[in-house]
Structure 1
Amino acid sequence: MNQSNILVVGSSNTDMVIKAAHLPTAGETILGGEFFMNPGGKGANQAVSIARLGGNVSFICKTGNDIFGKQSMQLFQDEGIETYLFSDPNHPSGVALITIDSEAENCIVVASGANATLSPDDLKKADGAIAKAEYVIMQLEIPLETVVYVSERATELGAKVILNPAPACALPINLFEKLYLITPNQTEAEMLSGTKVKDLDSAKIAANIIHKKGVENVIITLGQDGALVFTTGEFHHIPAIKVKAIDTTAAGDVFNGALCVALAEGKDLIASTEFACKAAAIAVTKLGAQSSIPYRNELSLNQTVNS
């Protein structure tokens, strides 16, 4: 199957995870259960998702000159990802502290480290990677000025730019105009649109507001309610596949990675979203970020539904 080249520009972290009965409140100490470390970061998670699902992927990121950075590089090599990895001698690699409760909900605190120093000057050194990409996907765990630079450069070169606007923040209006697709979750859609997203009807209102800012297509992910797609002036609701969730960490990253793979294979946005929902459903049935990312051969319906 012929595929377009996909470029991921984003973060690489090491996740430190503790399972607990509930998420702590302010000032509360909880004796948790299982602890484990897992490679993560939204950019890395999406790059690994694309690789495991059969996409042609390159990844640009920045790590510290430390053990976590070296481990990340080895991981990307093992996954077969062409990586443009910049090393920052003055900042450590990114780290995320994650707590997961008994209902599979999580809270996450990220120390960005070297991710926060990935600059437009770095990207100028990797211009060849942008030039050969047909799809470019980014997130917001790297500096916004870098996201804006890549969006402008990729658009100049004819690539379709996808933004997963996580974690949520205000975006400059000129960025929307460079985007082929934006993929906020409910919280992010609320921030971008200024309207509360509590159900499908309110999600449609938010998607229309975001579209009017200049982005061509909008997909709002709705967790257990699936995803809302706004494309060519029409709304399409893609239901989620019902599973017993164990850990929702990286589910959104798997969704975005799978979405890119399907688009690169020539599927339309509706079929691509269906494919992405299936991949995300598998991911939430496993613990961890990259340890939960499925391979292409896992995406059969009987493997996405728990008995």
Structure 2
Amino acid sequence: MKKVFCVGELLIDFVAEKQGNDLSKATEFSKKAGGAPANVACAISKLGGKGVFVGSVGKDPFGSFLLNVLKKEGVDISLAQVSDTFTTLAFVSLAEDGERDFVFSRGADKELIYDPALKKNFHGNILHLGAATALLGGSLEKAYAKYLFDGLIKEMFISFDPNFRGDLWKDNEQEFIKKCMPFIEKSHLCKFSLEEAQLLSGKTDMYEACDILHEIGAEIITITLGKEGTLVSSENFKKIVPSIIVKPVDTTGAGDAFIGCLLYQIANLDSFNQVFEDNNLLLSMVQKANKAGAITTTNYGAIIALPTKAQLEG
């Protein structure tokens, strides 16, 4: 089984309790571990895979809490760094349908320092780049680009999820689009929400959006559509794979569960070429990943809600 190196942020989600999606009215919050790349690493490890987290937390109680959560879930945290900067925080509100709104207080995640020694472990494995905060500057952004280069040199399977957060890119969406382009160009697999696909392609129609994103360079594209399933697109076919019916209470981590489950399956292939050459195999893998994402929405929080292998196969 191949390792999946997940690069990006690990942070605290303070989830507002007993109110709707207006954070100004919230008075009670629950502390949860979060951060898209960390969620993906946990999703892989909870399914029995080899998730490796590469990111930075603060030298404070929140940072210790986060690393302990990942370790408990079986994630390899040996490459995580600890910074003197305070751990990154996100404040999250939930509407009745489980949809979220975010406000960030950015901290230690931006302090990740590139380690050239990592690439000796990269050959033939998978690199997942979750970009929620990674393109906002700091040493993390520099490390992020260098790890992409190392991954390409070491013949890794490259996965990219832009994780667009409007609160982080207020009135600066064009800069976000520009910074995403090199990663879309070089990735074997890109996972987008519908909003992200439309934003990055400039097209409202998701099929036209896929065509544009393929032209940029993405080989396989998945566009997650919530309860409607996932659009899978490659150079020679496009198909919507339906999801299972659930009653969502919190959509936090659903996309991470999806891509984590998909990467877990890819990591178990004898050859990465199988995912490019066998459309039926790819569709069956996406179907299972849809189930992982749907299960995650039936519980509160991201990591705690990620399914185990037994839950996924049940």
Please indicate the TM-score interval, normalised by the length of the shorter structure: 0.7 to 0.9
Q: CA deviation at 1:31?
A: 5.1
Measure the CA separation in 2 of the matches of 1:58 and 1:238.
28
Show the counterpart of 1:100.
Answer: 94
The aligned amino acid for 1:206 is: A
Aligned match for 1:175, one of 171, 183, 206: 183
Structure richer in helix, relative to its length: 2
Measure the CA separation in 1 of the matches of 2:109 and 2:35.
9
Aligned match for 1:137, one of 128, 134, 143: 128
Measure the CA separation in 1 of the matches of 2:130 and 2:115.
15
The aligned amino acid for 1:130 is: F
Alignment of 1:125-164 (within 5 A): 125-131=117-123, 134-140=125-131, 141-143=133-135, 144-164=141-161
2:39 equivalent to 1:41:
no
Q: Contact (CA 8 Å) 2:17, 2:26: kept in 1 or not?
A: no
Aligned match for 1:221, one of 221, 224, 239: 224
Q: CA RMSD in A?
A: 1.9
For residues 31 and 77 of structure 1, do their structure 2 counterparts lie closer, same or farther at Cα, with a shift above 3 Å needed?
closer
**Which blocks of at least 5 consecutive residues in structure 2 are unaligned?**
136-140, 166-175, 270-274, 276-280
Measure the CA separation in 2 of the matches of 1:233 and 1:265.
24
For residues 172 and 252 of structure 1, do their structure 2 counterparts lie closer, same or farther at Cα, with a shift above 3 Å needed?
closer
Residues 201-251 of structure 1, C-alpha deviations (whole Å, 9 max, x = no match): x21111111010011111111112111111242102111211100110111
Measure the CA separation in 2 of the matches of 1:159 and 1:18.
39
For residues 58 and 172 of structure 1, do their structure 2 counterparts lie closer, same or farther at Cα, with a shift above 3 Å needed?
closer
Measure the CA separation in 2 of the matches of 1:9 and 1:67.
22
Measure the CA separation in 1 of the matches of 2:303 and 2:235.
34
For residues 5 and 166 of structure 1, do their structure 2 counterparts lie closer, same or farther at Cα, with a shift above 3 Å needed?
same
SS in 1 for 2:122: helix
Measure the CA separation in 2 of the matches of 1:284 and 1:130.
32
2:9 equivalent to 1:8:
no
**Which blocks of at least 5 consecutive residues in structure 1 are unaligned?**
197-201, 302-307
The aligned amino acid for 1:204 is: Y
Residues 99-142 of structure 1, C-alpha deviations (whole Å, 9 max, x = no match): 112221211122231111224xx2324333434x5211111122
Aligned match for 2:290, one of 264, 273, 277: 277
Show the counterpart of 2:16.
Answer: 18
The aligned amino acid for 1:216 is: E
- Please, which moves more after superposition, 43-52 or 79-88? 79-88
Q: CA deviation at 1:172?
A: 5.2
Aligned residues: 286
Percent sequence identity over aligned pairs: 26
Measure the CA separation in 2 of the matches of 1:245 and 1:64.
32
For residues 21 and 79 of structure 1, do their structure 2 counterparts lie closer, same or farther at Cα, with a shift above 3 Å needed?
closer
TM-score (norm 1): 0.87
Q: Contact (CA 8 Å) 2:194, 2:225: kept in 1 or not?
A: yes
Misfit runs of 4+, over 6 Å: none
2:268 equivalent to 1:265:
yes
Aligned match for 1:123, one of 115, 133, 146: 115
TM-score (norm 2): 0.85
- Please, which moves more after superposition, 277-286 or 78-87? 78-87
Show the counterpart of 1:64.
Answer: 58
Q: CA deviation at 1:44?
A: 1.1
Q: CA deviation at 1:262?
A: 1.2
Show the counterpart of 1:234.
Answer: 237
